[in-house]
Amino acid sequence: MTHHIAVDIGASSGRLVLGQLVDGSLTLAELHRFSNAFTEQEGSCFWDMDYLLNEIINGLQQAKLRGIHECTLGIDTWAVDYVLLDAEGKRISAVYAYRDHRTDGVMEEVGRLLPPEKVYAKTGIQQLPFNTLYQLYAHDREELETADQILLVPDYLYYRLGGRKMNEVTNASTTQLLNLATRDFDPELLEFLGLRREQFAPLTEPGKELGFLSAELVERYDLPECRLICVATHDTASAVLGVPAQKGRASAYLSSGTWSLLGVELDHPLNDRRAMAANYTNEWGANGTYRFLKNIMGLWLIQEMRRLDGERFSFAELAEQAGVCAGFRSLIPCNHPRFLNPDDMIQEIRQACLESSQPVPQTAGELARCIFDSLALSYRSYLSELEDLIGGRIEVLQIVGGGANNRLLCQLTADVTGREVLAGPTESTALGNLAVQMIEAGRMADIHEARRIIGQSFAIQSYLPQPVPQLTELLDRWKQLHPGANIHN
Ligand code: LFR
C-alpha cells in the first residue's frame, strides 16, 4: 500500500490529506476540506458527529475518484470531548463541545472535594475548566451510569468507520483521569465520578492497526479499502510529532491553531510543585514522551471576532489591516476565562479595554491588532516561565499549524520574545498523523527520521527579532493586565 490519508479535524475546520513519500521527500495533497463549528441548542453547545462522519466519507470518495483504491487511514481531532455509547454501540446523548457553559465553576467545585495537588500528582494534567474530569462531573448522572462505553471523539470516529473500540493514549491523557505511575485510568478518580474501568476501552498506543474500514461503508459509498491505523489522535500530539527536527539548538514549539499550545517535548513528566503552580500540563505523547505545555487562548479570538464581523474579511486581510494599525495600543488579558466562550467576542474585547482604561479598538484591523499584540505578549511571558521550569534557555521558537502563515503574528512573536521564530509547516498535524502511518507501514524508520524528512520537505520561514521600543514598559503593562486571572488558575 503506498497511499496514506490523514483525517485531521479541528474546532473550526477539517480536512483529509493524502501523504506521499517519493524519493525521500514528503508531499501533501488535500483531498477534501470542510468547516466545523459547535452549534448552540437551547443554550448548550454540541458537536455534530454525523456531519463529521459524512465529511470523512465525502473525503474518501474524493480519494477514490483520484484513483486511490487502497490506503491506510488515521484520524486526529481536538481533545477532551467524549461520546457515551449504550451496549449496542449507539450514542446515548448529544456530544457536548468543551466550551459549553455547563462546566462553569465546576473545576472549583471539584477542587473543594478532591485536592488539586493530589490530582496533579497523579495525572500531571493542567487545570482547565473543560477537562473531561470536570465535564463528566457535570454530566447527567443517570446517562453516565447507563453508559456502556465512553470514547473520546476520534476513538468514536474510528469505531464508526469499522475500527475496534479503544481509548487512544495521547488523547485519553487529556481526560485528566490517567495515572502517570500505573499508566492506566486512575481508580480513585473514576470512583469519584462514579465510573467503572470497563466503561472505558483498552488504552491503545499510536501505531497499532485497528482493523479495516467496514465493507458495508466501502460498498455503499464506493470508498477505497482502508486499513485503519491508530495515530496520535489528539491533534496537538500529532502536531508535535510533525514539528521538524532541530539540531543543536534548544527549541520550543508553538502549535498555533484555534489554541496556541506552547511547550517542549520531554521524555519524563515534570509534575512537581512549581510545574503545578505554573499550571503546565504533561499530556502523553507517542513513543513514551510528554507534551509539557500550556494552553494559550490562540486564534479562537480572531476566529470569533471575524465571525461576529460577518466574515467581511479573510484572515489574511485582517492580518494586513492589523499590520498598518498602531502597535501595542490596547492589550487584553487573552487567557482570562471571559474569552473562552463569551456571548460576543468583539464586545468582550472592547469591554476589557474599557475596564483597563485603554483605547477601545474600533475597526476590524484595530481589533485584530489588539489580539495579535496580546497573543505575542502572552507567548513571551509563558516562554520565560517555561525556561524557568525546565532550567534552560530556549533559543528558537518553532511555530507550526495555521498560525505559521500569519506573518505579522510570527514577526511580532519574534520581536517580543527576542527569539528566532521558525514558522512552518502549517500542516504539521496532518504530517504527524501521516508519520505514524508511514512508520507503521515500514516506510519510515522512526519519528526521528520522520521529523528529518518533514524538515527537508517543507519550506520553513525564519523571522529574526527586531527591537521593540520600550519593551520593558510594555512588559510591565502586560503584567498589570495579567494579575494571575487566566484560564489556568
Ligand atoms: C487543540 C486542542 C488542545 C486542547 C483543546 C481542547 O485543538 O486539542 O490541545 O486543549 O483543543 O480539546
Atom 2 of ligand 1, residue of closest alpha carbon: 78
For every one of its 489 residues, what pLDDT tens digit does the chain have, with 9 covering 90 and above? 589 999 999 999 999 999 999 999 999 999 999 999 999 999 999 999 999 999 999 999 999 999 999 999 999 999 999 999 999 999 999 999 999 999 999 999 999 999 999 999 999 999 999 999 999 999 999 999 999 999 999 999 999 999 899 999 999 999 999 999 999 999 999 999 999 999 999 999 999 999 999 999 999 999 999 999 999 999 999 999 999 998 889 999 999 999 999 999 999 999 999 999 999 999 999 999 999 999 999 999 999 999 999 999 999 999 999 999 999 999 999 999 999 999 999 999 999 999 999 999 999 999 999 999 999 999 999 999 999 999 999 999 999 999 999 999 999 999 999 999 999 999 999 999 999 999 999 999 999 999 999 999 999 999 999 999 999 999 999 988 876 545 444
Pairing of strands 44-47, 95-96: antiparallel
**What is the biggest distance separating any 2 CA atoms in the chain, rounded to whole angstroms?**
65
CA of 68 to the centre of ligand 1 (A): 31
CA of 11 to the centre of ligand 1 (A): 8
- Per-residue cell: 117: 495537588
Cβ-defined contacts of 441-446 (< 8 Å, 24+): 441/1, 441/4, 441/72, 443/21, 444/21
Is 292 close to ligand 1, i.e. is its CB under 6 Å away? no
Is 261 close to ligand 1, i.e. is its CB under 6 Å away? yes
Is 78 close to ligand 1, i.e. is its CB under 6 Å away? yes
Is 76 close to ligand 1, i.e. is its CB under 6 Å away? no
Give bridge partners of residue 41 from the DSSP assignment: 44
**409: exposed, middle or buried (C-beta count within 10 Å: 0-12, 13-18, 19+)?**
buried
Q: Identity (one letter) of the amino acid at 224?
A: P
CA of 468 to the centre of ligand 1 (A): 31
Residues annotated as part of the active site? 235
CA of 351 to the centre of ligand 1 (A): 26
CA of 409 to the centre of ligand 1 (A): 20
Atom 6 of ligand 1, residue of closest alpha carbon: 79
What is the position in ligand 1's atom list of the atom closest to the CA of 79?
12
Is 345 close to ligand 1, i.e. is its CB under 6 Å away? no
The pick from 126, 170, 174, 259 for probing ligand 1's pocket by mutation, whose C-beta has the most ligand atoms within 8 angstroms, reads 259
Is 235 close to ligand 1, i.e. is its CB under 6 Å away? yes
Is 257 close to ligand 1, i.e. is its CB under 6 Å away? yes
What is the position in ligand 1's atom list of the atom closest to the CA of 234?
8
Atom 9 of ligand 1, residue of closest alpha carbon: 236
CA of 224 to the centre of ligand 1 (A): 30
Is 238 close to ligand 1, i.e. is its CB under 6 Å away? no
CA of 69 to the centre of ligand 1 (A): 33
**pTM value?**
0.97
Is 38 close to ligand 1, i.e. is its CB under 6 Å away? no
In 3D space, the residue among 417, 416, 435 whose CA is nearest the CA of residue 425 turns out to be: 435
What is the position in ligand 1's atom list of the atom closest to the CA of 80?
12
Atom 11 of ligand 1, residue of closest alpha carbon: 78
